[in-house]
Structure 1
């Protein structure tokens, strides 16, 4: 039976890199994001992924629609074996945290934390409601910002720190049922989201910010997600895996 992977934010960037890797490994891939189906990114992603992929327009903030999203995926592809909770939004604007407005705080946490939690809750309930077959897993793609402070984007850091605890909570709740839960912490990854700060980080990486001396790539994250999805890291459930070229290692 074909395994089914749901990747939120899978139409571009890190999510698309993960989707491509899982599709090559034989997973049927469901992508979900708030972009309309006719968006150029969505169409390009589906073309790259081939006929085994489906796209579902869904806003993570609309938690009342989570059950319907999973219903549609199950009808088209079958039960979800692997959730990659990847979709996220940055701070609306970088600036002094003392000037942070509630609407930006609520927006970022509404997607990155509240929306992600309730979607994972819905997926976990469905996983528990059916007999165990293929290995099942949930991976939360967070950020090194879960532990590294950036005072100019406080709401983003808070959302990712909360997501780190969310991952541990799901790991403990689901471990007795053989469902693995992991947190993936990317560092500085070259995607469309980081294009606006490329010049800034090019110089900082050259100056030694990242011990690996390069930007991360979406495939770096995907290469970590694949063995998780395939069950090759089952007893490591609850682990937080840094994929950052050494960025978050404390140094003098």
Structure 2
């Protein structure tokens, strides 16, 4: 395992849920962490938590659908913390509904945030990683990147694409000191799960407890993952230099193989 103490990480979508958990887990490993997302009060709060762990930190607003902002992000981090050693592409969005009712704007937005933005941030960070001979990229994908999701075509397609990007880039970067991997959570105790529960309850007349049970019924563990459990997998991928091109499931056994 590599030591990552003193290195610099950039975590997108870092204001809550999985992104927050990863940012704090990396800080506990001794890393300095930049947190980026659209909601400033949330990333400011996470930065305060990182600082309380004794690490240098930075928070800045970032809309990952803004290509110019993505291209500037590595230099924003470098100016305060140093060059980005670890990039965690966690920002994401989802939409639901049958394909025959999907509008162009919804499809384009999901692909822009979940697939194009990670590619653009990788492209922006890689030259400096290659120059230093060290880099770690962790893409937060989903089990939806391995299987189809009914009424989730845009989300599933974007996450399948993110895994393809991960594997191709891992091959490009393998001899340059850079590893590229993905974590694939299933339902996790985040706002996305809360929103799904509320939507199902509203659409079906079920209670939220009944809707939640229906969502998690197929999970062998019978529960959602915790953000901190996803973060543990991400930290492993950052620390182990021999693992690249992999998609690690954190899904309670929902998808095997």
Map of 1:176 onto structure 2: 175
1:245 to 244, 252, 256: 252
Map of 2:200 onto structure 1: none
State the Cα RMSD in Å: 1.7
Distance 1:42 1:31 in 2: 6
Contact 1:11–1:45, Cα closer than 8 Å, also in 2: yes
SS of residue in 2 equivalent to 1:148? coil
| Structure 1 residue 211: Cα displacement | 0.9
Change (3 A) 1:65 1:43: closer
Distance 1:67 1:196 in 2: 31
Map of 2:103 onto structure 1: 101
The answer to whether structure 1 residue 48 and structure 2 residue 49 are counterparts is: yes
SS of residue in 1 equivalent to 2:9? strand
Distance 2:94 2:242 in 1: 32
Map of 1:210 onto structure 2: 219
Length-normalised TM-score, structure 1: 0.89
Distance 1:67 1:107 in 2: 18
Map of 1:111 onto structure 2: 113
**Where do 5+ consecutive residues of structure 1 fail to align?**
none
C-alpha deviations, 1:162-183, integer Å up to 9, x for none?
Answer: 1010101110110011211101
Higher alpha-carbon deviation: 56-65 or 194-203: 194-203
Length-normalised TM-score, structure 2: 0.88
Distance 2:138 2:101 in 1: 33
Listed as ranges, the matches of 1:134-149 within 5 Å are 135-149=134-148
Contact 1:189–1:217, Cα closer than 8 Å, also in 2: yes
SS of residue in 2 equivalent to 1:151? coil
Q: How many correspondences in the alignment?
A: 239
Map of 1:70 onto structure 2: 74
Contact 2:9–2:85, Cα closer than 8 Å, also in 1: yes
Distance 1:112 1:62 in 2: 13
